[in-house]
Structure 1
Amino acid sequence: MSWRFISLPPQDGYHMVTSFVSVADYVTRGGKDTFLVFSVKEPFVNVGVHQEVWLEVDLDYTLKNKIPVVRRDLGGGTVVITQGEHDYFIVLKQDEAPSDPKALYEKYLTPVVSVLKDYGLNASLRDQDIVVNGRKISGNGAMTHGKAVVIAGNILMSVDTNLMSKCIRVPSEKFRDKMAKDMSEWITSLERELGYVPPREEIDKKLKESFQSHLGIKFEDSFLTPEEIERWEQLAAEKRNEEWVYYKDRRHPELRTERCVKISSAVAICHMDYKARKLVRITAKFVEKKLQEVSISGDFFVMSPKGFLETLEDKLSGVSVDAISQVIDSTFTELKPVIFGFTAEDLKKAFQEIINKPEVQEVI
C-alpha cells in the first residue's frame, strides 16, 4: 500500500491547524493516505475545539505579547506550540482505521514509540500520549473528517516551560510558578533526554522507516495538490475569525464563573471541574427546578458525530433537574457518540455533584 509523505515548511498557527482538513478532504475523495510533517514559525496558543478560551488562556499576556490564540478542530487540552516541536498529521481512509480510539492510537502511534526507542529512550504509549519514564514527550489526538480519520501529534524536541506557564490562565502568580515547576515533571523532550536535539531530517527518516515496517506500507515523497493548497488557504483565513476562536465563549456569554453563586432565591450559576478519564468542565444556570442553560467543555475528544456537544447542551437546556440523567442517556443512545475522555455515566455523576451543591439546592 502506497502513502504520500509530505514535508512542509514552517507554518503559522492558522495554517498548522488546518493543513490536515484539506488533506482529509483529498483522502475523502479517494486520494492516498498521507503523512504530513512540519514545524511552526512562531509560538501560538492552541485551544481544543471543546474548550472555552477565557477558562484556559491568560489573554492579558497573549495579547500584550502578540501571541495568537488559535482554536483547532480537534479536541484535547490547551497547549502552547513552539518551534521546539516536530509536528505530524496522519490522515487515512476511515474504513482502514480501527473504530475504537484506543486501538486506533495503538496502531498508528506504536511506530512513533519505536522511533523514540531507537534513540535509546524508555518510551511507551499511555492513552493517546507517548511518555518517556512517565513524562510526556508526544501529545496526540484524533478526529473524523468526511470519510477520513486524522491523528495529530508531535515529538517534543525542546521545551520552554516558562513561556507555556505564562500563556495558561491560573488563579495566581504563585500558582503559575508552581505550574512551571510541575511542567518539568509532567513533560520532557529529546533535548532533555538525549542532551542534544536531533536534526528534523533524521527524525523524518526514522518515522518513515518505522511506519513502513509496522504498517507494511510504502511512502512516496510528495507535495500537496493545487486543490489542497487552495482549500488550505481558505481554511486558514477562516480560523483567524474571532467568531470561530471564541465561539464556545460566545455561545454561553452569561455563564462566566468558576464557582457556585446564588443569584437570587430562584437562580444559581454553578461551575465544576469533573475529572473523568479527561477533564470535563460544566457551568450550569439553574432557575427554580430547571436547568436553564449549560456549557460543557474540556480537554476530551469527540470523534463523532460533529456537533454532538452542542446538541446535548441544547437538549439539556430547559429540562427539569430530575430529567437530566434521562436526557443524557437518550441523547447518547440516539446519536451514539464516539468519545475519548468521558462516558454518559461520568456526565450524569458530574451533574449530580453540581445539583448537590448548597447554592443549587437552595433554588431547586
Structure 2
Amino acid sequence: MWRVVYTGQRPHYENIALDRIMLDLKAEGKIPNTIRFLQFKPECVLIGFHQSVEEEVRVDYTQREGIQVGRRITGGGAIYFDETQIGWEVIADIRDVDAKNFEELTAMICRAVAKGLRKLGIKADFRPRNDIEVEGRKISGTGGVFEGNAFLYQGTILMDFNVERMLKSLQIPVEKLTSKGIKSAEDRVEWVKRVLGYLPPKEEVFEALLRGISEELGINYQWGNLTEEELELLDSKRDYYKSDEWIYHVKSAVKDQDTLFGIHRCPGGTFRVSAKIDTRTKVLQQVIINGDFFVKPQRIIYDLEAYLKHTPIDNLESRIREFFKDRDWEGLNLSAEDFVDAILFPLRKAEGLQLGIEKKRLNNIIASIGGGLIENIEKAKVMLLPYCAKPRWCDYRHLDDCGECGGCTVGDAYRLAYQKGMIPITITSFELLRDTLLWCAQNGYTYIGHCCYEFYEKRYEIFAKASKEGAKGVLLDIVGTTCYSLGVEEEERAYHGEFTVELDLIKEDMQSIMSAKPDVEAPDKKEVKRDFDFSPHFLDFKPPYYKKPKAAPTPEEDMTRTSMQKEVFKGEATIGEEAVSFKEAVKLLVKWIKESKNPTLVIGPLLFWDWKEKELLEKGEVLRRLIEKVGRFNVKVMPDYRPKLKKYDPTVEMDPPNPHHAVLYGKHDLTLLVGVHCYRTDFVIRLLKKHTDTKVVALCGLYGHPTADLSTSFTDAQKLEEILKML
C-alpha cells in the first residue's frame, strides 16, 4: 500500500528539506513508497542541482519583487513557482515499479501524470525528454534523483500562471520579455485554468492525478501523514536548505584570466565548463562542470572533475571515455560523447596562443563553432559586426555600412576585413543576424563575428543551427557595458534597436586573430558609396524636420539577405499563407482599399530615395499615381532604419523599431508596405500583427512575405500598373 500526503503550502527551503529527508528515509527503508503533493508560499524560483544562481536568475528582479530563490535536489533547469502551482512527487524503490533505468522511469511516471490530467478533461501527453504537454504546450516539467535504489521523481502542474513574472525572474532571451515574447511564451505553455475555463479545487486535481498514477503503476494507495521522524528531521534541516551554503554551493563557471570557459548544448541539456590548463606543458589542471542536465548518481560530476585533473590535453578525449566506460551511471538523453564535446569545446581557444594572443586574453574568444579556431579563421569569408559598437552620433549606426571615418573600432574592422578579402556586415537586428547566418550556410561561408558572452549564451541555438547547415564561425567578445548588464529594460531597448550605449571591439585581439589570414592583393572593398537624394516623386511627403543623412539602406542590402525569403517563397502572391495568383491577390487588395476607412501606405528607403536606378524610379512614379488615384492614403515614410527615440511625427513618419505606434496613432485599418527592405519588412509585419488590428499588405520587390495578410512578389512598376488599373 502506497502512502499519499499533502504537505501544504510551505516556503521553498522546507519543501526541499522534505525532498531530501523523504528520499534518504526511503533509501533506508524507513518510510513506505509515497506520493506527495506540495505547494510553495511565498512564490519562489528554484534552480536545478547543477546550476548556479548567478547564471539562471535575474537576482535584481527577484529581490525587488520579493521572490525567494532556492535550489532543488534534482537536476534540470530553473523553475518559477507561484502559490497556485501544485507540485507532485513519487518517492519509491525502483524495484517496485516497472522501470529498468532513468529514461524508462521518466516515461512511465510522465505518462501516469498525463493520464491523470486527462481525467480532469485535459488532453495531456508525455513529450520526451521530460515534459508533459497539452497539444504541444508544456503544462508540467519533471525531473528526478536517485539514492541507491530509492528515487524521487517530481514535477509541477501549472494551475493559473503569470508568464510575464516567470520570464522576468529567469535569465532568458529578452525578446520573450516584450509583449510579443510574452505572447510567444504563453503559446508554448499551458495551465489548467486556461484549458478548463475555471480553477478546480486542489483536491479534485489530487484525486485525478492519483487515479492516473495508480492505474499506470498498478498500485493501491491511501492517504496518510508525515511520520514523527520526518517532522523531526524537518526541524533540524530546514535552516540548511535556506542557507547560502546550500543555495549558492554551485558557483558560476569561472571566466578568469587562467581559465578557458565554454558553453555547450545537446539534447540532454546545457553544460557550462571552465578548464584551467598549463599552456607550457599542455596539461589540464582542473575542470568545473555545471548546467541544466540530469545524471545518476549526482556525484558523478564531481568524480569526473577529480578524475580529469592533471590530464595531458592530447589524452583528454580518451580519458573522458575511459571514465564512463566501466561506471554505473545514467544520464537523461546524455552519453559519454556529450561530456567529451562539452569539455573539449573551450579548449579550442588555446589555439589562439599560436596567433600571439596572450593566455590571459584567450577568453576574449567566445567560441570556435563547427571546427578548430585557426581552421575557421583561415576559411573566414564574412565579418559580422554589432551596430552597438558604432557611435551614437554615427549615421551608419543602424546601417549595414561604414563610413570608415576612424571614429570607432568598427571602421578598423571594416578596413581589416577588406584587407583580408572578407565581406563586412553590420548586424542591426536579430532578424538580420538570422538571415545572414542562413546566407552564410547556403553559400558555404565561414564567419568571424563580434558579440558579448551574454548574447552568445542566449542565442546559442541560432549559431548551432547555422553550424549544422554549413556556417562555421569564430565569435569574439566585445567590451563595455552591455544591455544585459543594465537589466531587463535595456535588453528590451536593444532588441528593438534602441540601445544607445556604445561598446567597443577588442582591436588587439581582432588583429591577432586576423593574422591567420593572408592579405589580398586588391582589397574587395565596396567601390564607391552610393549616391542618393530625395526621390522627386515623394518630396512632398518628406517630414519638414527630416535632414538627409550621410548614408541610407541601399538596394544592395536586400540582395545578400534573401536566403530566408527564398525559403518561404510561395509564388507570385499569398493571401495569409496560402499561395494565390497575382491577379487574385490584387482583386482582394483593391476590395480592401475601397472598403478601408483609414488606409495608410508606408514608403521605405528603396523608393523614398532616388538611387539613380531606372527600375526604382519607374516604380516610384507608378506608386505616386496610385497614391493620387486612391486619394485617401495616409502616406507615412520610413527613410532609414534609425530609431527615432520618440522625436518624430507619427502622422507622417514611422519609427522603425516601433512601427505600430504610427498605425495605432492614426487608427489605420489597412497598412501597405512598399520599398521596405525584406529583413525590416518581416520585423514590421510581426509588430503590426501583434499590437494592432490593421490588415498588413507587403508589396515586395523580391520573394514576398507570407506572414502578411496579403503579399505580392517581385512587385515592379508593371505590377503596380496592374493594381492601378483595377482600382
**TM-score with structure 1 length normalisation?**
0.88
Residues 242-284 of structure 1, C-alpha deviations (whole Å, 9 max, x = no match): 111111117x6xx147xxxxx4xxx552222323322222233
Percent sequence identity over aligned pairs: 27
What residue in structure 2 maps to residue 273 of structure 1? Answer: 264
Counterpart residue identity of residue 193, structure 1:
V
Query: Would the alpha carbon gap of residues 40 and 216 (structure 1) be closer, same or farther in structure 2, given more than 3 Å must change?
Result: same
Which one scores higher on RCO, CA 8 angstroms, separation ≥ 6?
A: 1
Q: What's the CA shift for 1:37?
A: 0.7
Q: Tell me the CA shift for residue 17 of structure 1.
A: 1.7
For the residues of structure 2 that align with 1:190 and 1:324, how far apart are their CA atoms? 49
State the secondary structure of the residue aligned to 2:125: strand
Q: What corresponds to 2:212 in structure 1?
A: 210
1:331 corresponds in structure 2 to 323
Out of 288, 302, 317, which is 2:295 matched to? 302
- The DSSP-based 3-state class of the residue aligned with 1:213 is helix
Equivalent residues of 1:42, 1:82 under 8 A apart: yes
Structure 1 residue ranges without an equivalent (≥5): 258-262
Task: Name 1:138's counterpart in structure 2.
Answer: 140
Hey, what does 1:85 align to over in structure 2?
Answer: 85
Q: Is residue 255–residue 261 contact of structure 2 (8 Å, CA) maintained in 1?
A: no
What is the CA-CA distance between 1:146 and the residue it aligns to? 4.5
Q: Deviations over 1:154-204 (max 9, x none)?
A: 111121111111111257x55643653442132111112222211111011
> Which residues in structure 2 correspond to 1:203-242 (within 5 Å)?
203-242=205-244
1:9 aligns to what?
8
Mapping of 1:137-286 within 5 angstroms?
137-170=139-172, 173-174=174-175, 176-177=177-178, 180-249=182-251, 255-256=254-255, 263=257, 267=258, 269-286=260-277
Equivalent-residue separation in structure 1 for 2:184 and 2:310 (angstroms): 41
2:70 matched residue in structure 1: 70
Give the superposition deviation at 1:84: 2.7
Q: Distance in 2 between matches of 1:315 and 1:182?
A: 43
In the other structure, the counterpart of 1:292 is: 285
Distance 1:194 1:101, change over 3 A: same
Write the letter of the residue equivalent to 1:107.
M
Distance 1:360 1:313, change over 3 A: farther
- Alignment pair present for 1:347 and 2:339: yes
What does residue 23 of structure 1 align with? 22
The answer to whether the Cα contact below 8 Å between 1:25 and 1:146 also exists between their aligned partners in 2 is: no
Aligned to 1:54: 54
Q: What is the aligned partner in structure 2 of residue 260 from structure 1?
A: none
Cα separation, partners in 2 of 1:209 and 1:268, compared to 1, 3 Å:
closer
Deviation at 1:302, TM superposition (A): 1.4
1:132 Cα deviation from its structure 2 partner: 0.7
Matched residue of 1:204: which SS? helix
- CA separation in 2, counterparts of 1:99 and 1:293? 34
Q: Provide structure 2 residue ranges, at least 5 long, that are not aligned to the other structure.
A: 363-727
2:11 and 2:159 mapped to 1: Cα distance? Answer: 18
For residues 228 and 55 of structure 1, do their structure 2 counterparts lie closer, same or farther at Cα, with a shift above 3 Å needed? same
The amino acid that maps onto 2:288 is S
Rounded Cα–Cα distance in structure 2 between residues aligned with 1:268 and 1:142: 32
How far off is 1:73 after superposition? 1.0
| 1:28–1:147 Cα contact (<8 Å) kept | yes
Residue 351 and residue 215 in structure 1: after superposition, are their counterparts in 2 closer, same or farther (change >3 A)?
Answer: closer
Spell out the pairing of 1:84-123 with structure 2 (5 A cutoff): 84-97=84-97, 98-123=99-124
Alpha-carbon separation, structure 2, partners of 1:213 and 1:300: 29
Q: What is the identity, as a one-letter code, of the residue corresponding to 1:237? A: D
- Assess, with a 3 A threshold, how the Cα gap between structure 1 residues 160 and 350 changes in structure 2: closer, same or farther: same
Contact 2:9 2:40 in 1 (8 A): yes
143 and 134 in structure 1: CA distance in 2 versus 1, 3 angstrom threshold: same
What is the distance in 2 between the residues matched to 1:360 and 1:5? 58
Alpha-carbon shift at residue 360 of structure 1 (Å) = 5.0
> What RMSD over aligned residues (CA atoms) do the two structures have, in Å?
2.3
Bigger Cα displacement from structure 2, 278-287 vs 157-166: 278-287
SS of 2:260's partner is strand
Under a length normalisation based on structure 2, what TM-score does the superposition of the two structures give? Answer: 0.46
Rounded Cα–Cα distance in structure 2 between residues aligned with 1:313 and 1:158? 41
The within-5 A match list for 1:310-321 is 310-321=302-313
**Matched-pair contact (CA < 8 Å) for 1:21–1:145:** no
SS in structure 2 at match of 1:39: strand
The offset of 1:358, in angstroms, is: 6.8
Shift of 1:239: 0.8
How far apart are the structure 2 equivalents of 1:360 and 1:196? Answer: 59
Letter in 2 for 1:109: C
One-letter code aligned to 1:198: P
Tell me, what secondary structure is at the counterpart of 1:83?
coil
CA displacement at 1:327 relative to structure 2? 2.2
Deviates most, 76-85 or 99-108: 99-108
Amino acid at match of 1:64: R
| Alpha carbons of structure 1 residues 344 and 190: separation in structure 2 relative to 1, 3 Å | same
In 1, distance between residues paired with 2:162 and 2:302? 35
Residues 213-258 of structure 1, C-alpha deviation per residue, up to 9 Å, x if partnerless?
23232211100111011112323211112111111117x6xx147x
In 2, the alpha carbon distance for the partners of 1:75 and 1:129 equals 14
1:270 counterpart letter in structure 2 = F
Equivalent residue letter for 1:121: I
Matched-pair contact (CA < 8 Å) for 2:176–2:185: no
Higher mean displacement: 9-18 or 98-107 = 98-107
Closer, same or farther: CA 27–277 of 1 in aligned 2, 3 Å = closer
Change (3 A) 1:190 1:320: same
Query: Relative to 1, partners in 2 of residues 1:274 and 1:105: Cα closer, same or farther, differing over 3 Å?
Result: closer
Q: Distance in 2 between matches of 1:291 and 1:179?
A: 42
Residues 286 and 183 of structure 1, relative CA distance in 2, 3 Å threshold: farther
Distance 1:233 1:326, change over 3 A: farther
Shift of 1:314: 2.2
Q: Secondary structure at the match of 1:291?
A: strand
For the pair shown, which has the larger CA radius of gyration, 1 or 2?
2
Given that 2:8 and 2:39 are in contact with CA atoms closer than 8 Å, whether structure 1 keeps it comes out as yes
Tell me the CA shift for residue 116 of structure 1.
1.9
Equivalent pair of 1:21/1:232 in contact (CA under 8 Å)? no
Q: CA offsets, 1:46-84, max 9 Å, x none? A: 010111221111112222333221111110101111113
> Quick check: 1:48–1:71 contact (8 Å CA) kept in 2?
yes
For 1:332, the aligned partner's letter is: F
For the 8 Å contact 2:47–2:79, the answer to whether it is kept is yes
SS at match of 1:17: helix
Q: Are the equivalent residues in 1 in contact too, given 2:4–2:223 (CA < 8 A)? A: yes
Question: CA separation in 2, counterparts of 1:268 and 1:187?
Answer: 38
Contact 2:39 2:83 (8 Å CA) reproduced: yes
Q: Structure 2: how far apart are the matches of 1:211 and 1:276?
A: 27
**Quick one: which amino acid aligns to residue 127 of structure 2?**
R
- Does the CA contact (< 8 Å) of 1:276 and 1:346 recur in 2? no
